[in-house]
Structure 1
Amino acid sequence: MQHCEANFDGLVGPTHNYAGLSFGNVASFSNASADSNPKEAAKQGLLKMKALADMGMVQGVLAPQERPDIATLRRLGFAGSDARVLEQAATQAREVFLACCSASSMWTANAATVSPSADTADGRVHFTPANLTNKFHRSLEPQVTGNILKATFANSKYFAHHAHLPDNDHFGDEGAANHTRLCSSYGHAGIEMFVYGRHAFRHDLPQPTRYPARQTFEACQAIARLHGLSDESVVYIQQNPNVIDQGVFHNDVIAVGNQNVLFYHELAFHNSEAALSELRTKFGDNPLHFVEVKSSEVGLQDAIKTYLFNTQLLTLPDGNMTIIAPTECEENSTVAAYLAELVTRDTPIKSVNYFDVKQSMRNGGGPACLRLRVALTEDELSAVNASTLMNEALFNRLNSWVDKHYRDRLSEQDLRDPQLLTESRSALDELTQILKLGSVYPFQQN
């Protein structure tokens, strides 16, 4: 039976904007209040999806969230018509209002943690939406994310869906951005690597002091239990607290893995030697490639600024691996030189492809942030909602949909415009028909 790894990218939502909501994310903070271009952002994402599909990859699409989030604003005491709710919130509680307008669901690496059927006790693919408790604007996402995942992976014979973890920082969960799976091939049982920033119940253990550690050890353990993973198939690794304090808010900003390759910066992990030794032991006799980038090769700040590790590491149909990198890597002479030399080494990584995702990068998310990886068997792939899988027809239809519904400039003042809410709901209602999702949004259900 054939096995593959599908990449499901998040469509950029109609309210894509720069509000600097993500404390600890340097790029997000540095571009706060700049005007955004939702149409350009959505089209940049679609171009990357189509390019990967053209490379022979299985590429899917995940729908964005409904924003502005009127239901949450009403829960917080704003009342009257939708227009009145927007005006009150924007005037009386600017920060809350901006959080309820965020299009952050575009970064689907934070949508959920996924365990393939080869690893789980019941032989199904398991999904747990991330609760994202550390950031208010992202904590609004998991319920609708769960709806979208259930509509995309609907067949209960193959797919198991869990509720997100309790909405409390003790079980802070950031999804696949802190989860990597290593395996000899997608169809074989693998090692699921959970990376955490702190222990929630142990204040005597190392943790960052400047920026928050968003993922807890306890959340990682809970997801492993929910997914039916054995102790032999799981490794828990702590992220280096010092790099979190320098702006590495998720593990996927400092490390990326695929099949039998782990590509990471030497400063990525706390107690790195012991953690990697456990990985190698559990991986067994199959070859495992640790591609470690030394600070002397690429400094930490260059790695963060260019998102060298927030790249996609993919296995192409010919068996070789390629890196999908943002053009920021190409424009940085140190990083570009490193990548040019890397592909000549004796590792499975043989090429680099650069993509312009600047609208996403300015808000703190590179190519890896934009996708959720799902390893599937041939039967499981056939059970996926086919209307969400990228091809020429869907690419053209979604581009036309963006042209019809999206603005090419969005400022903070525009977010309070009731017409934007109407435009966004109209767009999402049409999108659920294109992707055959059913009623996944509160405005459709009410």
Structure 2
Amino acid sequence: MNTATISNVQEVNFDGLVGPTHNYSGLAVGNVASMSHGGLVSSPKEGALQGLLKMKSLMDAGYAQGVLPPQQRPDIGALRDLGFSGSNREVLACAAKEAPQLLRAVCSASSMWTANAGTITPSMDSPDSRVHFTPANLQSSFHRYLEPQTTGRVLQAIFRDERHFAHHPVLPATPAFSDEGAANHTRLCGEYGEPGVHLFVYGRQAFGDVRSGEREPKRYPARQTLEASQAVARQHGLTASQTVFAQQHPNAIDAGVFHNDVIAVGNGPVLLYHEMAFLDEEGTLDELRYKMATPLIPVRVPVEAVSMEDAVASYLFNSQLLSNPDGTMTLVVPGECQEREAVWRTIQDYLLAGNNPISEVMVKDVKQSMRNGGGPACLRLRVALSEAERAALTGRVLLTDALYDDLTAWVNRHYRDRLAPDDLADPQLAEESLVALDELTQLLKIGPVYPFQLG
């Protein structure tokens, strides 16, 4: 265990750019928003601009902000692997006729939710003083299972310097090691440069005797396994004193809480969570208190204040919790939180007026993402980096005013205003996407990362 404190550490939020094929296909079982909006017409351009505007506003407020590119979609190679043949046009047409559900899956822009890209351990917690990365296998759904290879190439392209960064293989893509990345992982600490404790939250146990009192959800599948969380912790060299493994409440999963970041969010020493977040609430908090060097600040929202229905509909707990230099925290919530009276009242009267560091709320419009089940926290991958590690990044991925302007212009050049599910078979959409992504890798200066660029 590396016990050294590293100075000049910042948490950088790497947001995923919404891709050119952003659409509403209702692919995610257990994701209430995704299922309820399936078949609606989307706006890829509006979605990408909403995401960029959120990034820009946080950068302007003084928070370190990064950008991650979308995936190559449609993934025609995946269709060919599944037996479709001929030209790209013929493959798309055949898939649209014979297996429209597969076509929708290979066109998904779900990589925008980079909280699922992987799990990160910062250098101050790792035994070799490097930042460690494991891409998530996302094996629980086909449309996300297609992401890890490109995700791994993107992470290795940006975090390339082996003196500072270490990359691990994706876990075996089997139900026993189902891994959904940082959406089920929170690092709690004092200052970012101080050693932290890693809270891994899982939905089920795959092997061995089930722990006492554990049970599985009955309506929707549990996506994260204990075994996957333990494997990632081993890859990163984390010890028992640095980790807490807690089971997500199965009733929450059945209510539509498919990831823990839909019911809890942590940053620094603060853990904001709903009463129904953990099956063993007190045991989880006690273990965190015992292992953390800094006193834990739990902020519990009872079900009487916010129902499970309101929590899932508003994505209150899928907000970003950002640390400020004066010790206060800012909560970045989706606009949907204002639309639920109980949620907005809780934010004003319980969180902002409560005895906790949350002193400000910022409301952001990310409706295009929200309709597919992804709020502000889904859209970002948090990476704590020292000044030297930030300097070692490859490419042009830390947001500046100039990069924001370039990305906004890029979206306006290449993205469609409207996209209906029937448009996914349009071969011109595939061509438009390749042109856009090729230009994007040049704009970000990350080199070739997409299958079509690698030959």
Q: TM-score, normalised by structure 1?
A: 0.98
Gaps of 5+ in 1: none
Residue aligned with 2:396, SS: helix
Q: Which residue of 1 aligns with 2:220?
A: 211
User: Structure 1 CA distance, aligned partners of 2:310 and 2:208?
Assistant: 33
Helix, strand or coil: the match of 1:388? coil
Question: Which residue in the other structure is 2:352 paired with?
Answer: 343
Are residue 232 (structure 1) and residue 241 (structure 2) matched? yes
Tell me the equivalent position of 1:153.
159
Query: Which position in structure 2 is the counterpart of 1:269?
Result: 278
Q: Structure 1 residue aligned with 2:402, among 386, 390, 393?
A: 393
How many angstroms does 1:202 deviate by?
Answer: 4.4
Checking the alignment, whether the CA contact within 8 Å between 2:297 and 2:356 is kept in structure 1 is: yes
Equivalent in the alignment of 2:436: 427
Aligned to 1:292: 300
Match of 1:316 among 324, 329, 351: 324
Among 408, 413, 419, the residue aligned to 1:410: 419
2:4 corresponds in structure 1 to none
Give the superposition deviation at 1:2: 0.8
Q: Secondary structure at the match of 1:429?
A: helix
1:304 aligns with 2:344: no
Aligned equivalent of 2:129: 123
Alignment: residue pair count: 445
| 1:85 is the counterpart of 2:91 | yes
The Cα of 1:230 is off from its aligned counterpart by 1.2
The code of the aligned residue for 2:302 comes to: K
> Is the CA contact 2:288–2:296 (under 8 Å) kept in the aligned structure 1?
no
Secondary structure at the counterpart of residue 66 of structure 1: coil
Aligned to 2:269: 260
Structure 2 residue aligned with 1:108: 114
Aligned to 1:362: 371
Q: Distance in 2 between matches of 1:415 and 1:203?
A: 45
Give the equivalent residue in structure 1 for 2:168. Answer: 162
List 4+ stretches of structure 1 deviating above 3 A: 202-205
In 2 relative to 1, CA 292–36 (structure 1 residues): closer, same or farther, beyond 3 Å? same
**CA-to-aligned-CA distance 1:138-172 (integer Å, 9 cap, x gap):** 00000000011111111111011111100111100
Q: Is the 8 A contact 2:252 2:276 kept in 1?
A: yes
Structure 2 residue identity aligned to 1:100: V
**Structure 2 Cα separation of the partners of residues 372 and 11 of structure 1:** 12
1:207-251 CA deviation, whole Å, 9 max, x = no partner? 111100000000000000000111100000000011101110000
- Structure 1 residue 288 displacement after superposition: 1.5
SS in 2 for 1:387: coil
Counterpart of 2:41 in structure 1 is 35
3-state secondary structure, aligned to 1:126? strand
One of 182, 192, 198 as aligned partner of 1:176: 182
1:380 corresponds to 2:389: yes
Could you list the per-position Cα deviations for residues 319-374 of structure 1 after superposition, in whole angstroms to 9, with x for gaps in the alignment? 32100000111221111111112112221111100000000000000000000000
SS of structure 2 residue aligned to 1:323 = strand
Q: Residue 317 of structure 2: SS of its match in structure 1? A: coil
The one-letter amino acid of 2:119's match is T
Partner of 1:46: 52
Secondary structure of the 1:264 match is strand
Structure 1 contact 4–186 (Cα < 8 Å) conserved = yes
* Residue aligned with 1:20, SS: coil
Q: Which stretch of the first structure deviates more once superposed, 61-70 or 344-353?
A: 344-353
- On the 8 A contact 1:302/1:335 being kept in 2, the answer is yes
Secondary structure at 1:173 match in 2: coil
What is the letter of the counterpart of residue 262 of structure 2? V
* Among 4, 9, 13, the residue aligned to 2:10: 4
| Alignment partners' CA distance in 2, 1:390 and 1:214 | 32
State the identity as a percent: 58
| 330-339 or 306-315, larger mean C-alpha shift | 330-339
Q: CA deviation at 1:203?
A: 7.4
**Whole-angstrom distance in 1 between the partners of 2:82 and 2:160:** 33
Question: Per-residue deviation at 1:386?
Answer: 4.9
**Cα distance, 1:279 vs. partner?**
0.7
Structure 1 residue 381, shift from structure 2 partner = 1.1
Paired residue type of 1:325 = V
What does the per-residue CA deviation read over 1:154-197, in whole Å, with 9 as the maximum and x for residues that have no partner?
11110111111001111000000000000011001100000000
- Deviation at 1:314? 0.3
Instruction: Give distance in 1, aligned partners of 2:90 and 2:341.
Output: 51
Aligned to 2:3: none
Correspondent of 1:191 among 194, 197, 209? 197
Deviations 1:374-393 (A, max 9, x none): 01111111112350011100
After the TM superposition, which of the residue ranges 344-353 and 26-35 deviates more from structure 2? Answer: 344-353
For the Cα contact (< 8 Å) 1:254–1:309, is it kept in 2?
A: yes
Query: In 1, are the aligned partners of 2:203 and 2:225 still within 8 Å (CA)?
Result: yes
**More deviation in 334-343 or 244-253?**
334-343
> Pairwise CA RMSD of aligned residues?
0.9
